[in-house]
Structure 1
Amino acid sequence: MKSSLQKLVLLALISALNVAVARIFLIPVPFTNGNLNLCDAGIVLAALLYGRRAGATVGALSGLLLDLLGGYPQYMLFSLVIHGAQGAVVGAFYKSKRHFWKILGLAVGVLVGGYFIADSLLYGFAAGFLGLGTNLLQGLCGTSVGYFLYKRLKDLPSLKR
């Protein structure tokens, strides 16, 4: 990245695109009052392309904005922390180890564990437990999409660090 302003603009663009895609490809989950989306894809993509700080920034912004715009304000601060941590973990881990399954496990682990705690605090342990499956599915799908996008885009000259 040539300048900090260019990096800031690019991360804002990735965050905005991530929120838009997550709002468009939204699958309601019955009995939970929640939904599945592809928010994790943009977070993982930013983390793998630009590192832990970029992943954390895109994750925090995307998570917070998605909940604000989607009508889930009770989750905004949780999502800021959970998705920010998800981006930071993926970015930091991928820099030192290039093993896909370890990245996937870390990214999904942060997401599933974080939302288990958030759901349990907001609605009780049973709600946290019931959300494990859908959070795992969302984490696996989004992380996989983000990883495969990264593999396709990493060599583009305009996206190099």
Structure 2
Amino acid sequence: MKTRQIVTLALITALNVAVARIFLIPVAFTHGNINLCDAGIVFSGLVFGARGGALVGGLSGFLLDLFSGYPQYMLFSLVIHGTQGALIGTAQTRSLKEQLLVCGGAIGVLVGGYFSADSLLYGWSAGILGIATNLLQGIVGTGLGLVLARRAPKIRAQKW
């Protein structure tokens, strides 16, 4: 990976964490939150591919939990959002329809991953209660990320 790529992905990660931290809605019954982190992950996966999506996704989720006071979720977020970004990155050169299908699968990774994390940390009831909020976060973040990625043709034209 070239220095320019590393710096670009680091800046996207920092921006994603900052935006997600500003638009953070705590969810009391799951001890988690709703945020816009997924928008940056979808954007990064579609613009920078699987590796870029995985790096931005994993680091963004990890750092957001650290800075937001949810350290119990840091490692879960690293894996869940990293997987989400890598999966979305596989659809980088695909049609919009195929991108939507892959993003749907990534939302499934998000919902299933946090269902498992919430259930492990706080019991099955917390896992079940978190499904709706994680689904909402995934859908809103995916929609916003798709719009942003479609608006970035100059960035996408560069070889990563």
Give the 3-state SS of the residue equivalent to 1:35 in structure 2. Answer: strand
Task: Name structure 2 gaps, 5 residues minimum.
Answer: none
Give the 3-state SS of the residue equivalent to 2:26 in structure 1. Answer: strand
1:148 aligns with 2:159: no
Deviation by residue 1:134-156 (Cα, 9 ceiling, x = unmatched): 00000000111011000111x22
- Provide the C-alpha distance between the structure 2 equivalents of 1:51 and 1:94, rounded to a whole number of angstroms: 6
1:132 aligns with 2:111: no
What percentage of residue pairs aligned between the two structures are identical? 60
CA RMSD of aligned residues (A): 1.7
Task: Provide TM-score, normalisation by structure 1.
Answer: 0.91
1:28 aligns with 2:26: yes
**Paired residue total:** 158
On the 8 A contact 1:49/1:160 being kept in 2, the answer is no
Q: CA deviation at 1:26?
A: 1.4
Instruction: Indicate the larger mover: 88-97 or 72-81.
Output: 88-97
Give 4+ residue runs of structure 1 displaced > 4 Å after superposition. Answer: none
- Provide the C-alpha distance between the structure 2 equivalents of 1:46 and 1:53, rounded to a whole number of angstroms: 9
On the 8 A contact 1:53/1:88 being kept in 2, the answer is yes
Deviation by residue 1:75-130 (Cα, 9 ceiling, x = unmatched): 00000000000000001134455414303311211100110010011111111010
- Provide the C-alpha distance between the structure 2 equivalents of 1:49 and 1:71, rounded to a whole number of angstroms: 30
For residues 109-120 of structure 1, the aligned pairs below 5 Å read 109-120=108-119
Query: Match for residue 102 of structure 1?
Result: 101
Task: Provide TM-score, normalisation by structure 2.
Answer: 0.92
Query: Match for residue 45 of structure 2?
Result: 47
Amino acid aligned to 1:29: V
- Provide the C-alpha distance between the structure 2 equivalents of 1:118 and 1:93, rounded to a whole number of angstroms: 26
On the 8 A contact 1:108/1:140 being kept in 2, the answer is yes
On the 8 A contact 2:47/2:92 being kept in 1, the answer is no
Query: Match for residue 80 of structure 1?
Result: 78
Task: Name structure 1 gaps, 5 residues minimum.
Answer: none
